[in-house]
Structure 1
């Protein structure tokens, strides 16, 4: 709950964080930026904490809405789609590899950077090699573990991976920054763990289990 972490200390806000592991490196700077921005944020009194999904007008996540977005994926502004809309680009090649045209499926699945990252994700989950032929395979959960709880964790991992691939791509395009796959994998592990544990109060998942054996998790507590 936000009320357990942020409280008034005179005119300013104070923070009482509880971390599974202490922030280090770049994360410390991002945390400080967050805290600075929160100082001017006006919290709604009496309102309950909630998560908002910005891709849906009402802020509520549904698998149906996600499926609709996937089916309309040509709206994602990769270079090929931007070119189709009449924007004059120097090139429609993938900014990550420069080997092929940047389509949605290339950016998320078949680009060498994306393939390397997915291989690391599958290795982390002890799942062998990626078996996606298109985005529908990913969002329909064709590679999910049979274990019910683990399958939910795997789907969360897939979605966070897709988000991170697009974020890293945009950092490369707009800021000239390039992350390597091990760095992105660590970020995916941290972000997916935070998302899962924040949304699932009754799911008893610890950090070490998440890092070492995510595919074997089956919570009975």
Structure 2
């Protein structure tokens, strides 16, 4: 803000008026290096930007799991995963290999009629989305990005409220959120909730929806 002629001028907006979107963009600019602003996870138009930023940070080990906090010199009572209390909490553990996270992934794979698989890191999980006839970008959103984000939110709910959700509720949350994103009224093309829930939709529908990052 800059004061001028008896009023404040908001310098982030060319018109001088306060716009919250401009603040968000400036925060993103500070968090995300300029070289990554066109990264697929940041610019994918299927998902809210906060999910893309979360995945960008996750793929680079930058979410605040206990192992990363310990590396930053923060003294913690325990490095064990708050969900299972058995293994040191790393990014890959809390999102993929914790027994509670695995239950969610099994539910998501079952929803998409995919063979259950075990992955050691998020990058391998992303590479796996090319199996089957579902467009890979759509599966990244539903099979990896949304699920990872919901698992992380549930972890935080356990840490800060000691009230994590049960697996069926988490799977349903992924289904609901992704349906909201994919069936956004601003997109061309439409399909019904029951089609999404059972994966019985016409596989040609992505041609009417921009599934490419941009």
Scaled to the shorter chain, the TM-score interval is 0.5 to 0.7
Separation in structure 2 between the aligned mates of residue 198 and residue 54 of structure 1, nearest angstrom? 26
* TM, length-normalised to structure 2: 0.68
Check whether the contact 1:126–1:215 (CA below 8 A) recurs between aligned residues. no
**Displacement of 1:68 after TM fit?**
5.7
The alignment status of 1:171 with 2:157, answered yes or no, reads yes
Question: Could you say which structure has the greater relative contact order, defined with CA pairs below 8 angstroms and 6 or more residues apart?
Answer: 2
CA contact (8 A) 1:144 1:155 kept: no
Say which SS state the counterpart of residue 128 (structure 2) adopts. Answer: coil
**Once the 2 structures are TM-superposed, how far is the Cα of residue 215 of structure 1 from its aligned partner?**
8.1
Partners of 1:79 and 1:92 within 8 A in 2:
yes
Runs (4 or more) in structure 1 with deviation over 4 Å come to: 52-55, 58-61, 64-68
Q: Which residue of 2 aligns with 1:82?
A: 69
**2:117 paired with 1:130:** yes
CA distance in 2, matches of 1:120, 1:53: 35
Q: Secondary structure at the match of 2:181?
A: helix
Question: What residue in structure 1 maps to residue 212 of structure 2?
Answer: none
Among 92, 97, 100, the alignment partner of 2:87 is: 100
- Does structure 1 residue 72 correspond to structure 2 residue 60? yes
Residues 191, 176 of structure 1: alpha-carbon distance in 2 compared, 3 angstrom cutoff: same
For structure 1, the 5+ residue unaligned runs are 1-42
Q: How many residues are aligned here?
A: 171
